[in-house]
């Protein structure tokens, strides 16, 4: 893609630049709105937890005339209220219910087998207790906390503490928005979803670290000069890594999106759909946060430091001085082409020889005046000839009284 390559080259050398840092308030506002919507959705709708977290019974069967409505009516006829029925693929059904006694579970199996005309042993059942889901949730939360602590320590050592803080804010930003999408859309949260969320946190961190590495390269020793501020150097780093972020995100989203489409369209959902959906949402949000949140937030924190404030003042002073010198040069160039000043009365004497003589006391009229010490004019015939020094003894005697 030569067009994208040329675009990336112009961004890298600074010929083309997008002001990500200068417009950070706009990105902050967008993110705050998304976070508020996500938190409100989580508080109002809550997460649609899968059977692995809430516990219950799950029945599966395959039939050529599979129907969601028929399966729901069969389960309700067995005395079980509010079953969750999903069509997996074209001929497979999955029914989830609350916790059932063994007698109730056998009644549900018999009702489904009778309704779809299959042997009862082809209706599989699985019982999951709520303790299993709580154990999974506790382990996932523990893993998330350990992950965040290790990430903070690594970034604080390898980069700087403020970069670690900005990266953690971006990670929490991605986590809240992803969970908010699940709450708002009522998508089911399964263990595969938890795995996908933990995976996208690692991806978001990787993209942020790549941008931060470029920021560190551009801002190394920046306080000793006066060419650009920290925000300008950070903005250049974001532009230089923009094409790489776009390419990486596109390459990651393409297979994940393909898996999501295939799993939902052909396989009817399942573990692949849960995992790919979380990855797809998280990668998109993580790419946004690494460009629009992490680096602008880092610039906001660093610009408050006294060294960076002094740097900003030096840059402003240098640019103001450069503008003044440029204006002075323009003024000099304008005065060089201006007309000569008007002649003074003394200058008018140059065109009147009589006046010249009369103007000088004691000198006959018509005699041009010469300033004291001036060299008399050279005769016309002698112009261009250089006076030759007389050699010793030429036309006379040599030292010692002998003629040459």
Determine, yes or no, domain membership for 340: no
Residues 184 and 240 placed together within one structural domain of the fold: yes
Determine, yes or no, domain membership for 325: no
Residues 67 and 106 placed together within one structural domain of the fold: yes
Residue 3, pLDDT score? 62
Please, are residues 57 and 82 in contact by the beta-carbon 8 Å criterion? no
Tens-digit pLDDT profile for residues 377-392: 554 444 444 445 555 4
Where a domain ends, among 107, 128, 149?
128
Residues 278 and 166 placed together within one structural domain of the fold: yes
Residue 27, pLDDT score? 93
Determine, yes or no, domain membership for 398: no
Residue 24, pLDDT score? 92
Give the mean pLDDT of 331-346.
44
116-129 as b/e: b if 16+ CB within 10 A? beeeeeebebeebe
Is pLDDT above 70 for 352?
Answer: no
Determine, yes or no, domain membership for 117: yes
Tens-digit pLDDT profile for residues 84-117: 888 776 778 888 888 888 888 889 999 999 888 8
Determine, yes or no, domain membership for 237: yes
Residue corresponding to tokens 């001036």: 374
State how far the Cα of 21 lies from the Cα of 30, in Å rounded to an integer. 14
Where a domain ends, among 128, 157, 178?
128
Where a domain ends, among 108, 128, 148?
128
State how far the Cα of 199 lies from the Cα of 143, in Å rounded to an integer. 12
Structurally, the chain folds into a number of domains equal to 2
Q: Is the pTM for the entire model greater than 0.95?
A: no
User: In sequence order, what DSSP letters do the residues of 71-88 get, joined into one string?
Assistant: HHHHHHHTT--S-EEEEE
Tens-digit pLDDT profile for residues 146-192: 888 888 888 888 888 999 999 999 999 999 999 998 888 888 888 88
Question: Which residues are within 8 A (CB) of 266 and not within 5 positions of it... i.e. 6 or more apart?
Answer: 89
Coil, strand or helix: which one is 86?
strand
Residues 95 and 186 placed together within one structural domain of the fold: no
> 62 is in which domain, residue-wise?
56-128
């Amino acid at each position: 893609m030569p067009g994208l390559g040329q675009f990336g080259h112009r961004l890298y050398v600074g010929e083309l630049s997008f002001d990500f840092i200068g417009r950070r308030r706009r990105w902050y506002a967008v993110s705050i709105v998304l976070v508020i919507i996500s938190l409100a959705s989580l508080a109002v709708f809550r997460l649609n937890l899968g059977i692995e977290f809430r516990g219950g019974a799950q029945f599966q069967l395959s039939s050529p005339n599979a129907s969601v409505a028929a399966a729901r009516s069969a389960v309700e006829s067995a005395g079980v209220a509010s079953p969750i029925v999903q069509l997996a693929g074209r001929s497979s059904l999955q029914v989830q219910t609350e916790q059932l006694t063994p007698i109730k579970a056998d009644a549900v199996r018999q009702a489904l087998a009778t309704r779809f005309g299959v042997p009862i042993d082809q209706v599989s059942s699985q019982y999951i207790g709520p303790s299993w889901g709580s154990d999974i949730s506790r382990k996932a939360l523990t893993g998330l906390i350990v992950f965040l602590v290790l990430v903070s320590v690594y970034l604080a050592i390898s980069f700087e503490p403020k970069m670690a803080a900005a990266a953690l804010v971006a990670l929490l930003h991605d986590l809240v928005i992803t969970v908010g999408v699940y709450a708002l859309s009522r998508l089911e949260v399964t263990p595969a979803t938890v795995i996908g969320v933990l995976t996208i946190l690692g991806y978001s961190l990787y993209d942020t670290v790549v941008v931060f590495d470029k920021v560190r390269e551009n801002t190394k020793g920046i306080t000793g000069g006066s060419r650009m501020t920290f925000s300008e150097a950070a903005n250049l780093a974001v532009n230089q890594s923009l094409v790489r972020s776009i390419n990486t995100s596109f390459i990651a989203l393409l297979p994940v999106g393909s898996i999501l489409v295939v799993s939902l369209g052909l396989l009817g959902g399942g573990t692949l759909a849960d995992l790919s959906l979380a990855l797809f949402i998280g990668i998109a949000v993580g790419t946004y946060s690494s460009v629009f949140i992490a680096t602008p937030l880092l610039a906001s924190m660093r610009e408050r430091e006294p060294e960076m404030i002094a740097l900003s003042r030096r840059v402003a002073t240098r640019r103001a001085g450069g503008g003044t010198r440029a204006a002075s040069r323009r003024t000099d160039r304008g005065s060089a082409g201006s007309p000569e000043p008007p002649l003074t009365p003394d200058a008018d004497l140059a065109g009147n020889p009589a006046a010249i003589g009369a103007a000088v006391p004691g000198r006959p009229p018509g005699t041009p005046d010469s300033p004291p010490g001036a060299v008399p004019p050279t005769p016309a015939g002698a112009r261009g000839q250089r006076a030759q020094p007389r050699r010793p003894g030429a036309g006379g005697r040599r030292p010692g009284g002998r003629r040459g």
